[in-house]
Structure formats: C-alpha cells, structure tokens
Amino acid sequence: MNLKVLKTMALIALIGAAWILIYRTLTSGGIDLDPFQALGRGAAVETAKLLHNSGRLVLVDAALGDYKVLAPTTETQIKAFKKAVGGTGLKIAAVAKANIAPPSLGRTGIFMEPGQLSKLISQHADADALVLFVGLASREEVEAARPKSGKPQLVMVANYEPYYRPLVQSRVIQLAIVPRMDGDEPGKAVESSQSYFERNYRVMTPENASQLPD
C-alpha cells in the first residue's frame, strides 16, 4: 500500500470520526440551540438594516441529505430569522434548498455543491436579497454568478472563508455575518441574544470590511 493511499484512508477516518462526534452530540440532546437562535435573530436585524426594512427575501437552507443530523441547527437559525423579520417590512418570498458538498478537513462548516448559486440567482431574480445559510462553493463561482442588475443582493450567514472579505469589498456580497475568532468558549450560556451575537459574530459590509481584523 503506497503513501498516497494511506494518507487518503487517514483523511477519511478523521472525517468519519469528526462526524460521529457531531452525531453523538446532537442525538444525545446535549446541543444548545440558543447560539443558533441568536445568530438567526442577529442576521435578520442586519438584513433589515441593509434593505431599509423593505423588500422580498429568499432564504437558502442546506439540503443536508445524509447529514440531516445537523438539521436542528439550521432549522433554529431560520426559524429565529423568520420571527425577527416579522416586525419589519421585509417579506420572505420563499425558502430554497441547496445541496451541500461532503465535509472535509480543509473547511469548517456547511458549503453548497458547485453550480448552484447561478441557478438560485436566476430562479429568484425578482427578490431583493438571497440570504444564504450555507457557505459558497468557491470565490470563482460567486464572481461568475454575480447578478448583472444588482439584484438579488447576497447576504451570507456562514462560516468564514478568507475570500469573503474581497467579495464584500467589491460588493459582490453585500453583507456577510461570520464567526469571530475571539468569540465565547463553547458551552458558555447565552444570557442575551443580542449580546451573544455581538460578541461572537462579525458583521461585514463594503464600508467596514477593510477595517475589520482577520
């Protein structure tokens, strides 16, 4: 057995172990959904600011397939988002699904498979914003799919990728809500939804992207 095969087998084993750990945590009832609720609410507040409390939204959720054990986390985010926009002039026109890529050690989080973003933009060209609760496949794909008319605007609610910053700076993405590296330790109680959101997430806009720390 050569070195390349051994490395591949080791990588598969590590990914499998990580997902087993996630599965046991979720199915044991040990997961705290309050942080995901805080993220959904905070994302709604920031999206309302972006659109000045007016417009039609399409929420893009992950079609988890074999990884449906993660469904409580994304469901909680979207439920909290919907509740928070209920008191604004925003209207949720649809909830779309995006197939996700298999997990890998090179990326942390949930990312859509290649080839889906352009379809979502085309299908919902009349929306004012797509709110993506799933990460992008690649920088090249989102640049190629950039709406020519400026609509829909793209709002990211996902794990951080280094290429999000230049995409926000160039207004390909209008708003990105990503985790802070200096956020709370895992398991810390959520005493206030808003304060938790402010401590644990960065709100990246074209105006502030260049000033925020990595």
What's the pLDDT tens digit per position in 159-203?
Answer: 888 899 999 999 999 999 999 877 766 656 677 888 889 889 999
Element (H, E) at 117: helix 117-123
**What digits encode the pLDDT tens for the residues 105-124?**
667 778 899 999 999 999 99
Q: How confident is the model at residue 25 (pLDDT cuts 50, 70, 90)?
A: very low
Query: How many angstroms separate the CA atoms of 112 and 211, rounded?
Result: 28
CATH 3.40.190.10, applies to 32-204: no
Check whether 1 has a pLDDT greater than 90.
no
Q: What's phi and psi for 63, nearest 5 deg?
A: -85, 100
Check whether 6 has a pLDDT greater than 50.
no
Residues of 56-90 as b/e, b for ≥16 C-beta within 10 angstroms?
bbbbbbbbbeebebbeebbbbbbebbbebbeebeb
Q: Which of 137, 177, 173, 172 is nearest to 157 (CA)?
A: 177
More confident residue, 151 or 6: 151
pLDDT score at 15: 40
Question: Whole-number mean pLDDT of the chain?
Answer: 82
Check whether 9 has a pLDDT greater than 70.
no
Listed by start position, the domains of the chain span 1-30, 32-204
More confident residue, 20 or 82: 82
For the chain, percent of residues with pLDDT exceeding 70:
79
Specify the pTM.
Answer: 0.81
Q: DSSP secondary-structure letter at 128?
A: S
Amino acid at 126: D
Check whether 211 has a pLDDT greater than 90.
no
**What digits encode the pLDDT tens for the residues 71-87?**
888 899 999 999 999 98
Under 8 Å between Cβ of 136 and 111: yes
pLDDT score at 28: 40
For residue 20, what are the contacts with CB-CB under 8 A and spacing of at least 6?
none
